């Protein structure tokens, strides 16, 4: 498809983090952009400010008339859109150009020098760090989260070099053919799609074979490539790690060189791994270690990735997207590192019935590490309920006496009744929207206490 022949781009699921980045890109190209999403959000509001027309009710009548010209309109949809969606059905039945988000990303990145970050955990933070580093060479970056440095999920540069997040969901990353790629992790996930962990692993192996120049992998993964690790021998190794005034300082050894006293401000060993992966990719591309060091020192993070909503001497509220047991444990480890003697409360909203069922024992183990647990109902997202799988079922598996179910309407009260100084709100559902209201209410009702 020739992008130059496309005048209109219509998005189904335009409020999604990956979809909205592509929407922003087409706006920047001067295309007419419109779309549908299930609910309004900050992302859709920001797009509307850019002139994007968005509606929130699935009805063919809501599609702008100019977008009904199939010769001039490209339709992009996310796999999260249900198959019985009337607008999607209309476009398909009338033979419009209808593509998945991943197909479009693969198509428009085809003629660029592409750096892709894959992995079941860490890819959003790693790609955001890499995008920040690669700004110096005018790269365009498509991120799966909002960069704190730029308040955007699209870092617009030139079309010669692209940084993209390679999503394993629905095998989306197999649409990409990157020059340089990284795989951060291959833990079992998305078993509603893959059914078996081996199928997910095979998908990552297939992705690795599509990398034309250099593959970089976290040490220990069953794929050949340049390795990276913290405090372990690897091609790219971080060592002499220490914490000073809330930031990490560490040295890095590469296959041919070394650099000392890198400063990095995100908490947790897992984020040092993310920084190291981005460093390795940028270094392989040709960015000097000194230039990378400067960029790492100024990286502010990604929204909803260990984001402080409240941080005072008396109370801390942390917002994080963690929705897999490995990610929950990483957040807990980071909190213990920074606040080793404080009581910690976790508020968790499980995401998907299938994921909760598949990893119930692991969820229970990771949540049990906290001092206190508040568990919200499962966020269904794209799924129908599974009989017998609910928040009560998961709560009973958590080996922690300080645990209880909570509801959205009682959450603030339950948090305020806890004596925990540190509260972490975790999940990939609408807990990310809820936390803004919780933050405001806590600040309003506890002025003199926090």
Q: Is the pLDDT of residue 325 over 60?
A: yes
Q: CB–CB of 249/262 below 8 Å?
A: yes
| Nearest alpha carbon to residue 288 among 133, 61, 112 | 133
Q: Tell me whether domains 3-100 and 307-445 share a fold.
A: no
The first and second tokens of residue 71, run together, are 């010769």
For the 110-298 domain, the top CATH level (class) is alpha beta
How far is residue 139's CA from residue 234's CA, in Å, rounded to a whole number? 28
pLDDT tens-digit series, residues 198-235: 778 888 999 999 999 999 999 999 999 999 999 999 99
Cα 34 to Cα 22, 44, 58, 89, 441, distances in angstroms: 12, 11, 14, 17, 35
pLDDT band for 1, please (50, 70, 90 cuts): low
pLDDT band for 191, please (50, 70, 90 cuts): very low
Treating both helix axes as pointing N-terminal to C-terminal, what angle do 101-109 and 17-28 enclose, rounded to 10 degrees? 40
Average pLDDT (136-146) is 94
Please state which of the four CATH numbers 1.10.1740.10, 3.40.80.10, 3.40.190.10, 3.90.190.20 is assigned to the domain occupying 307-445.
3.90.190.20
pLDDT over 70 percentage in the chain: 96
Lowest mean pLDDT among 29-38, 374-383, 388-397: 374-383
Average pLDDT (35-41) is 92
Is pLDDT larger for residue 447 or for residue 125? Answer: 125
How far is residue 8's CA from residue 6's CA, in Å, rounded to a whole number? 6
How far is residue 194's CA from residue 277's CA, in Å, rounded to a whole number? 26
pLDDT band for 124, please (50, 70, 90 cuts): very high
pLDDT band for 412, please (50, 70, 90 cuts): very high
The count of other CB atoms within 10 Å of the CB of residue 296 is 24
Domain locations along the chain: 3-100, 110-298, 307-445
Q: Which fold has domain 3-100?
A: Rossmann fold (3.40.50)
How far is residue 200's CA from residue 222's CA, in Å, rounded to a whole number? 12
pLDDT tens-digit series, residues 248-263: 999 999 999 999 999 9
For the chain, what is the mean pLDDT? Answer: 92
Is pLDDT larger for residue 137 or for residue 189? Answer: 137
């Amino acid at each position: 498809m020739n992008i130059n022949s496309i005048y209109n781009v219509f998005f189904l699921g335009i409020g999604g983090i990956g979809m909205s980045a592509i929407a922003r890109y087409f706006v920047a190209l001067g295309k007419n952009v419109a779309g549908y999403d299930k609910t309004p959000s900050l992302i859709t509001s920001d797009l509307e400010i850019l002139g994007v027309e968005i509606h929130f009710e699935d009805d063919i009548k809501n599609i702008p008339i100019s977008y009904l010209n199939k010769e001039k309109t490209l339709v992009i949809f996310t796999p999260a859109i249900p198959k019985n969606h009337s607008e999607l059905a209309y476009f398909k039945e009338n033979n419009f150009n209808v593509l998945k988000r991943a197909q479009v990303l693969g198509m428009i990145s085809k003629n660029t020098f592409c750096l892709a970050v894959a992995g079941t955990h860490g890819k959003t933070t790693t790609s955001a760090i890499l995008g920040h580093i690669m700004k110096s060479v005018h790269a365009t970056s498509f991120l799966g989260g909002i960069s704190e440095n730029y308040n955007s999920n699209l870092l617009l540069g030139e079309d010669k070099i692209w940084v993209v997040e390679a999503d394993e969901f629905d095998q989306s990353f197999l649409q990409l053919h990157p020059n340089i790629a990284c795989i951060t992790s291959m833990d079992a996930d998305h078993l509603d799609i893959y059914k078996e962990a081996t199928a997910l692993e095979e998908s990552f192996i297939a992705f690795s074979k599509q990398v034309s120049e250099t593959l970089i992998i976290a040490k220990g993964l069953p794929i050949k490539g340049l390795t990276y690790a913290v405090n372990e021998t690897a091609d790219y190794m971080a060592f002499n790690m220490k914490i000073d005034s809330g930031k990490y300082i560490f040295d890095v050894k590469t296959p041919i060189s070394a650099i000392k006293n890198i400063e990095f401000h995100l908490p947790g060993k897992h984020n040092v791994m993310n920084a190291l992966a981005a460093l390795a990719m940028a270094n392989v591309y040709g960015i000097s270690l000194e230039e990378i060091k400067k960029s790492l020192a100024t990286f502010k993070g990604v929204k909803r990735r260990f984001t402080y909503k409240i941080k005072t001497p008396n109370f801390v509220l942390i917002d994080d997207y963690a929705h897999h047991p490995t990610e929950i444990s990483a957040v807990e480890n980071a909190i213990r590192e920074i606040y080793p003697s404080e009581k910690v409360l976790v508020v968790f909203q499980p995401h998907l019935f299938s994921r909760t069922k598949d990893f119930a024992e692991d969820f229970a183990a990771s949540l049990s590490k906290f001092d206190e647990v508040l568990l919200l109902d499962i966020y269904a997202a794209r799924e129908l309920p599974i009989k017998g799988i609910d928040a009560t079922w998961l709560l009973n598996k958590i080996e922690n006496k300080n645990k209880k179910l909570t509801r959205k309407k009682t959450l603030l009260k339950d948090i305020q009744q806890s004596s925990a100084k540190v509260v972490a709100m975790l999940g990939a559902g609408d807990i990310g929207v809820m936390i803004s209201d919780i933050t405001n209410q806590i600040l309003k009702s506890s002025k003199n206490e926090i």
